Structure 1
């Protein structure tokens, strides 16, 4: 079954999160995703609050920019979430927006190298291993570091990706991949191919991989009387107005068909991303849970 979720966009004030999270939980939505966008809301702090306010829903963070975060801190925070809320936290990491990384003095020469090192070290720490790096590691430096409280059960780490090199890397070094709302169904298929190439390369090198690799994709979604206008305006804002079949505007049936196209292309979870000017965040979550979910196999 394709998992369905919604995004709480950080354009909303953080004090609005409790009502949206509780509604999503009560309405039966499977996943609520949060973003650590500069310079709005912290990913781990909002995820912890959303998990504490709810009972069953999975809370995703998509994603934590690795240039901003020491890998040991990332591991400590992810482990704490998994021990306090077993099976409900889903955390992704990624390059971050490079302009933002430059604004805070964290931009690196090779984002792919940094992400690879961060993923390798992070997953080892979450497995309860003690990690030391050597002179071949360019950005991540650890000296006999281990978590006192690693997760009691495996904690999957996802990674965000758009370009071919990073998509192959997520196949090699992550447990899943997060794709942005600029990804069409054909883009999901291409991403799956590149991820599989990375997984095959990892297996040839002797790595042990999970049986499956979860692909999460955001779907820019608008509903209501002015849905088409809001969707078009956001696509224009992002310079994506000429990309065919990107995003969806309409009723539950139209949204469910768009979700199904992404699922058939290889998405394991489709997360409905409202426009930045969504006038009714609670109504959007209710729409996803009560109207779209019954139409998605």
Structure 2
């Protein structure tokens, strides 16, 4: 594939919950000022609220798209999730990207909300949530989601794409069947991204649907001891050094890694800083000022 034929990829940065919540404001402001396309916030148990973080980041910025990847559906009722998404969508039209998933099952057990069939819950939740966000009155009685003539008084004024996240084969199929876009919950190699995106896209095609986006994560470091810092970070996220996950080095090295993920099917890549990143705002500025131009 020639450079001219390549599809543009959105470049963002992730606000990782290994950093305290009070670091978010400087990161969000720097990410927007540097020209990055996206800021992604997380909701890992039991660290930070993704919706509170997304609302704050949206309020501190004016242009950048803010994604929440992702909300574990066992933690929230479908109705309150629809209310929260619709409120942010109306306050910040076109700038908020919500994503849902079945959550990490050990965490769901700790919270007392683990269910026997996480995929059934995710399907029922996503289908009902999309209908509510579309302004429909919803009555349904499923295994886990029950609604009786529920309609939002203030639905979004513009369509809100509903992203579905996960990495397991059955979750990827479900994401293709009911999601508008796919968010891969873990940092993966380009080959793994290609396979996962293909699984979800094939499932979408069989369901007569199309996935508009595929989101991937790149753990990255730059500066002194970059490779050692990356190697130390990877085990935290279930990877190991030498497996092709992550990038360490200068702007060209990180841009090449982002492009590899894009060539594998990712339309948006969020760079994930390490837990020991000493200056998140400076790292965001580096990505926007030095890495992003190399992807143009």
Q: TM-score, normalised by structure 1?
A: 0.94
For residue 147 of structure 2, give the secondary structure of its aligned residue in structure 1: coil
Residue correspondence of structure 1 range 109-128 to structure 2 within 5 A: 109-128=116-135
Deviation at 1:197, TM superposition (A): 2.1
Residue number in structure 1 paired with 2:258: 259
Q: Which residue of 2 aligns with 1:41?
A: 48
Distance 2:237 2:60 in 1: 33
Aligned to 2:107: 100
Structure-2 residue corresponding to 1:5: 12
Tell me if the contact between 1:221 and 1:248 (Cα under 8 Å) persists in the aligned partners.
yes
The 1:118–1:231 alpha-carbon spacing in structure 2 relative to 1, beyond 3 Å, is same
Residue correspondence of structure 1 range 80-99 to structure 2 within 5 A: 80-99=87-106
Q: Indicate the residue corresponding to 2:291 in structure 1.
A: 292
Shift of 1:83: 0.5
- What does 1:262-281 align with in structure 2 at a 5 Å threshold? 262-281=261-280
Partner of residue 144 from structure 2, selected from 139, 147, 150: 139
1:177 and 2:176 correspond? no
1:151-170 per-residue CA deviation (whole Å, 9 max, x = no partner) reads 00100110111011111111
SS of residue matched to 1:218: strand
Whole-Å separation in 1 of the counterparts to 2:147 and 2:186: 35
Matched, 1:58 2:39: no
Q: Residue in 2 aligned with 1:245?
A: 244
Contact 1:118 1:140 in 2 (8 A): yes
3-state DSSP class of the match of 1:132?
strand
1:212 CA drift (Å): 4.4
For residue 28 of structure 1, what is the aligned residue in structure 2?
35
- Mean Cα deviation higher: 194-203 or 279-288: 194-203
RMSD between aligned residues: 1.3
Take 2:84 and 2:235, find their aligned partners in 1: how far apart are those partners?
A: 37
| 4+ long deviations beyond 4 Å | none
Q: Is the 8 A contact 1:171 1:196 kept in 2?
A: yes
| Cα distance in 2, alignment partners of residues 16 and 254 from structure 1 | 26
Unaligned runs of 5+ in 1: 204-208
1:201 to partner: Cα distance: 2.6
Number of aligned residue pairs: give it: 289
- Give, in whole Å, the separation in 2 of the partners of 1:15 and 1:241: 30
Q: Kindly indicate whether the alpha-carbon contact (under 8 Å) linking 1:181 and 1:220 is maintained by their aligned counterparts in 2.
A: no
Task: Supply the distance in 1 between the matched residues of 2:10 and 2:268 (Cα, whole angstroms).
Answer: 4
- Shifted more, 86-95 versus 14-23: the winner is 14-23
Structure 1 residue 57, shift from structure 2 partner: 0.4
Match of 1:17 among 11, 19, 24: 24
Q: CA deviation at 1:105?
A: 0.2
Question: Which of 186, 193, 199 in structure 1 is aligned with 2:204?
Answer: 199
Look up the SS of the partner of 2:215 in the other structure. strand
**1:82 to partner: Cα distance:** 0.7
Q: 1:250 to 1:242 in 2, by over 3 A?
A: closer
Secondary structure of the equivalent of 1:133? Answer: strand
Matches of 2:292 and 2:237, distance apart in 1: 28
Structure-2 separation of matches of 1:243 and 1:131: 49
In the TM superposition, what are the counterparts of 1:144-155 in structure 2 within 5 Å? 144-155=149-160
Counterpart-to-counterpart distance in 2, 1:73 and 1:25: 29
1:164 corresponds in structure 2 to: 169
